[in-house]
Structure 1
């Protein structure tokens, strides 16, 4: 069974556009959980342009589902994760000028760094996941870092889905099969939507969790948040 974790960054982006506290991210997270989502994802960045570090601290005590914190493991982020003690931390190699995540880790080049960071998180009992491109070598490299899971970066699948869904999904299926053989859990995220998720789920085995934010919140503008979440859950189950 694949879990749905809802990324609430876009709700924070909307709040920040006007200042103040509307919409309230804590209330939104409570509602998302009550509508059936099995996790909440946040991705704080150093400039706090959407989720703020203070939001993470407010969210932790009120959540009843899995809390997943994504981000680049700079010291400020590491300290935040230690303080919040989430169920999962997902390591993302964010470029400082990136609008959103746009690449996975080179797990071979950065193996020693990742091993050190992952070891520190696992010593605190926090499950770790590494954001990776659908590349066999990067999956093999991830296995050598000691991570618990990988998160497959699905933008290329989303882009290719409309033109050639079979070839678009093929590298993801291959990476998921290999990851499972190597003892890694498999997550996925980025540009998954109500349009393309069903095919991805049907063709990528061992999928433990998807993290979806931008598309889900955008679709909720038309269908409502509760109905949209229920539609995602139907596709996953």
Structure 2
């Protein structure tokens, strides 16, 4: 199970690092900006999770593996021919960003639940779901704020709702099926909802005042 969790964490780190780096490229940041957004998107949610769970120092500062992987992915995307291919093909860029962001969201949502089960004496469903949601969306919120964008969780394709649905499914299944099945089910739910919402342009109702 430890190898499975480690593999998931690596997949999520690569996905979110790519998401952060692509966002930085879209905002025309320099090399440092690309690396910073790649790293903060990958480890930011986990740091928030650890603070909530009382894990100090956060796991990201105990083991540099995920940070180094995120830096490596960010540098890889800065290779001229890769960067050129992405930046001059808007459809490829948008699809890559959507897929990477969706995979990272799904992985880190269920990783948050895994860590809450492992480190917290309180294993209520409410705590598991909250920590899963925070871990999933936390890095993306930091990325968007640093990039000067309105965070996805407030405007884009039921982003937080997808994480919430996956977290609820994973937490409910956790005590009834093997852990890896619950985690895979939660990830699949997040990914499916994100992709469907992007394809069909689903969004929550917007609050508008026509007099403004």
TM-score (norm 2): 0.28
TM-score (norm 1): 0.26
Task: Return the structure number with greater strand share.
Answer: 1
Task: Return the structure number with greater helix share.
Answer: 2
Question: Whose relative contact order is higher, 1 or 2, with alpha carbons under 8 Å and at least 6 apart?
Answer: 2
